[in-house]
Structure 1
Amino acid sequence: MKKGPVLNIALSQLIASLGHGDMVVIGDAGLPVPPGVPVIDLALTHGVPRFMQTLTTVLEEMQVERHVLADELADRNLPIAAAIAALDLPGRGSVPHADFKRLTAGARAVVRTGECTPYANIILFAGVVF
């Protein structure tokens, strides 16, 4: 049995297959997924799993070079914005939510959580460990 933090098969395979610059989206339950982008749906019910639980678990296995948030997050969901800021992730960027949704079309996958709070979404860009 796998010992690392990510036990979900599809999520573990995704992280293992990432190359430098590949995008992974972790999104709330309402984030639309563009046609053709695979979805790893972890959502069980409202709030399960939480966005931050999913993000912190993914960060234990994924090397991140930079990340992008929606501009609206800071004003519309302060608890999530503060929790992400506390992680001190590299290379913070932000764009309007409409642009954020367009960017997701280039993602390797969207990881859907059970989070039901606004703008609880992030795009992670894979880094390298060397």
Structure 2
Amino acid sequence: MKKSALLHSEFSHLIATLGHTDEITICDAGLPIPNTTPRIDLALTLGIPTFAQTVDVFLKESQIEGVIVAKEFAQVSPEHHDALLKRIQQEENLTGKAISITYLTHEAFKVRSHQSKAIIRTGECTPYANVIFQSGVTF
């Protein structure tokens, strides 16, 4: 049996196949996901799993170099936005690598998410609790 934090086979496979600069989106329950982008649906019910729980597991398994979020996230859901920034800061401290943060309008974010290698849907019901992670390298 797998020993690390992530047990979900599709999510684990996605992370194992990420290359440098590949993007994946982790989103709330409401983000539209096009039929052309692979979907990994983790949502069980409203709020389960949370956006934060999913981000935490992803960061334990992956090296990132960039983060993209909607500008509206900071304005509409500041507590969740600040919690995400804190996690990114902790990741920088842990890895010793800088992580860029880019803000787009929510409409531009939705368009950009279509370029993701996959979109992971959570049960989160907080407005704008969505993030695009850009894969980095461990060396």
Superposition TM-score tier, normalisation by shorter sequence: over 0.9
Query: C-alpha distance in 2, partners of 1:97/1:105?
Result: 13
Q: Which residue of 2 aligns with 1:55?
A: 55
Query: C-alpha distance in 1, partners of 2:114/2:74?
Result: 23
Assess if the C-alpha contact under 8 Å between 1:34 and 1:104 holds in 2.
no
Query: C-alpha distance in 1, partners of 2:34/2:115?
Result: 9
TM-score between the two structures when normalised by the length of structure 2 = 0.92
Q: Which residue of 2 aligns with 1:7?
A: 7
Runs of 5+ consecutive residues of structure 1 not aligned to the other structure: none
Please state if 1:123 is matched with 2:123.
no
Q: Give the counterpart letter for 1:91 in structure 2.
A: S
Higher-helix-fraction structure: 2
Q: Which residue of 1 aligns with 2:26?
A: 26
Q: Which residue of 1 aligns with 2:84?
A: 84
Residue identity (%)? 44
TM-score between the two structures when normalised by the length of structure 1 = 0.98
- 4+ residue runs over 2 A deviation: none
Runs of 5+ consecutive residues of structure 2 not aligned to the other structure: 92-98
Q: Which residue of 2 aligns with 1:108?
A: 117
Assess if the C-alpha contact under 8 Å between 1:47 and 1:115 holds in 2.
yes
Cα deviation for residue 51 of structure 1 reads 0.2
